[in-house]
A and B are shown apart, each in its own frame.
Chain A
Amino acid sequence: MAVVRQSGPGRLRRTAGRRLGRANWAAGVASLVWLAFVITPIYLMVKDALQTTDSYLDGGPLSLPHHLTGHNFADVFDRGFTHYLINTAIVTVASAVLTVLLAFPAAYAIVRSRSRAVSGVFRLFLAGLAIPAQATIIPVYLMITRMHLYDSLTAIVLPTVAFGLPLSVLVLSSALRDVPRELYEAMTIDGSGSVRLMWSLALPLSRASLTTVSVYSALNAWNGFLFPLILTQSDEQRVQTLGLYNFQGQFSSNIPGLMAAVLLSALPIFVVYLFARRWLVAGMAGVGGK
């Protein structure tokens, strides 16, 4: 239906960059099919989370929601999910902050330095993009146990940050390249050294990319599964993704409870998406950005 609105005057201007003047019906229909495929699991997840177990079992997957209840959420909280969410939040904030603290000075130096060693570092990070985290879990496990960090939140943060660094450095350095050289010179005349140049010139001018990188690393940490899986064990140190995995074993007969936990785990990000879609999408497309 929305497709129809596209015809009429003003269309040419509005669709600058598009090809033909008439609406693409076939694509419109196909996109609605895809929409159904994308939305159905999310809709069912939300619906089940709000249902009582009885009405879930009786109603079948396609029934309309009835007997709405918030009981499942209370149930999930009772089982310590709040604690998992707090753990995840700690890991997320620590990872994002550490990533930015490490990556920004490095990116700044990569763009500004004339040292050969620094350009070598840039190539190192380029190559580092290709290291698959899955293939390193055994030595990472060995190192973390040797450092007596096994089953701690720190254990999750360290490799998570390390594997996020290459992309973060790349994104930040490509943003810093756009800062005009003349500005550095102008500030130098005012007597600024490298630290001041970074702090009051490079930093403010690359705020957009900094947000991108923070969002990207935060999202990665929030949704991380592999490192928590091999590096933590106790209920005390559990993050939400592992909590879900664990519930999935326990809740076999309580699907609404399980779905309530899934919904809770994604809710903070859904809310951010609602209010700061641009930043979130930029953060997710980090790789695609030129």
Chain B
Amino acid sequence: MTAALPVARRRGVRAAEKGTDRAARPGVLWVLPATLFFMLFAGLPLVLVAVLSFTSWNGLGTPAFNGFDNWTRMASDPSVLQSLRISAVLTVLSWAVQTPLALLLGVWAAGRQRNRAVLSSLFFLPLLMSTAAIAITWLTLLDPNFGLAAKFGPSIGFPDGNIIGSSRGALGCIIVVVSWQFVPFHTLLYQAAARQIPKSLYDAATVDGAGRVRQFRHVTLPQLRNTIVTSSVLMLVGSLTYFETVLILTGGGPGGATNILPQHMYMTAFRDYQMGYASVIALALVALGTTLSMLIVRFSGFAKMRSTLEGI
């Protein structure tokens, strides 16, 4: 956000500082520990994953270079394409489910009424649990013999209650579970943003005779534009973390129906011990995440970050 600060203004401030300010200025040494640490354990791996993509390595011993073998192999690997397709479907569907829910809940929870405050404190409970705890809890709920799924499965088209074990239902289960887990976080974002909307806008709309729905459409939604973009980027990039949920809930199954790309990479690396090939898939993940968020940023005009306070 700070990077968006007008350069001219920053320069102006700096010039003013030079004249009067003699306070001590910390040097590069101060940022060195954090930078080195970050470069070593997050930056270097990013470089290494690219290097490893040109090697063959089984997890033990030394990686051996094998040129473009992994790359050509991926280009003609139907299972990668299949994983990519499932990832795309899961990402888009969970975005489409979570965004409206989080937006409406956030705007609602932004109200200062007592009942809303109490209810929102309950809404945030899933945020406290780890992915592992959440996935395991849901796994027992989805148990076809003793879980809730046994009770409700038949009424939604799964007579044996085995929703999670069917190729139709498994992806749906994952969407439900990740929504349960992540909607609260995005609600939090929207709640904070909705509280920033100037009251005068609503007053003006009320004077103009706009009802609740029209106020939502013409005041709230436009005012939340930046938050919608932020939340969507976080959601799309964050969909990589659905891997942990998938691993515990379905392990990619049944029959590969939920085998999203990160899951496919993990299995290739740590079950099949084809670390080199898995590195190519990992790179594809990085490329995908970066491209996706850049596309959103570009097409939503987020880069310009037009102030929502324009015209007030």
Instruction: State the A residues within 8 Å of B (CB).
Output: 2-3, 5-6, 14-20, 24, 27-28, 30-31, 34-35, 37-42, 44-45, 48, 56-57, 60-62, 102-103, 105-106, 108-110, 112-115, 117-118, 121-126, 128, 130-143, 158-159, 161-163, 165-166, 169, 173-174, 177, 181, 184-185, 187-188, 192-194, 197-198, 222-226, 230, 240-242, 244-245, 248, 255, 258-259, 262, 265-266, 269-270, 273, 277, 280-281, 284-285, 287-290
Contacts and interface: CB of A to CB of B under 8 A. Distances in A.
Contacts of B205: 19
Contacts of B265: 134-135
Contacts of A197: 23-24
B71 to A, nearest CB: 16
A139 B45 CA distance: 5
A110 B202 CA distance: 39
Contact of B42 (A16, A159, A193, A284): A159
A31 B121 CA distance: 12
Nearest to B289: A132
B268 to A, nearest CB: 10
Contacts of B20: 185
B168 interface: no
B118 interface: yes
A138 B278 contact: yes
Contacts of B199: 16-17
Contact of B240 (A106, A134, A163, A185): A134
B46 A102 contact: no
A27 B106 CA distance: 11
Contact of B146 (A20, A56, A124, A265): A56
Which one of B27, B30, B31, B279 has the highest number of Cβ atoms from chain A below 10 Å of its Cβ? B31
A57 B33 CA distance: 55
Interface string B21-44: 111111110110111011011111
B56 to A, nearest CB: 13
Which one of B26, B46, B148 has the highest number of Cβ atoms from chain A below 10 Å of its Cβ? B26
A280 B115 CA distance: 20
Contacts of B307: none
B25 A106 contact: no
A178 to B, nearest CB: 12
Nearest to B268: A138
Contacts of B21: 181, 184-185
A163 B86 CA distance: 27
A247 B197 CA distance: 47
Contacts of A258: 136, 140
A241 B132 contact: yes
Nearest to A21: B206
Given A128-B42, A194-B25, 17 more contacts: A16-B199, A31-B105, A44-B141, A61-B146, A122-B2, A126-B3, A132-B285, A133-B42, A135-B286, A136-B282, A139-B48, A142-B275, A162-B38, A198-B26, A225-B130, A245-B248, A248-B139
Interface of B: 1-3, 14, 17, 20-28, 30-31, 33-35, 37-38, 40-46, 48-49, 52, 57, 59, 63, 101, 104-105, 108, 110-116, 118-119, 121-134, 136-141, 143, 146-148, 150-151, 180, 184-185, 188-189, 192-193, 195, 197, 199, 202, 205-206, 211-212, 215, 230, 234, 237, 240-241, 243-244, 248, 262, 265-266, 269-270, 275, 278-279, 282-283, 285-286, 289-290, 293
A5 B35 CA distance: 54
A131 B148 CA distance: 38
Nearest to B244: A225
Main secondary structure of the interface of A (DSSP, over half): helix
Contact of A143 (B44, B105, B113): B44
Contacts of A2: 114-115, 118
A192 B139 contact: no
Nearest to A114: B25
B128 A269 contact: yes
Contact of B112 (A14, A37, A162): A14
A207 to B, nearest CB: 20
Contacts of A158: 41
A288 B229 CA distance: 12
Contacts of A285: 185, 188-189, 192
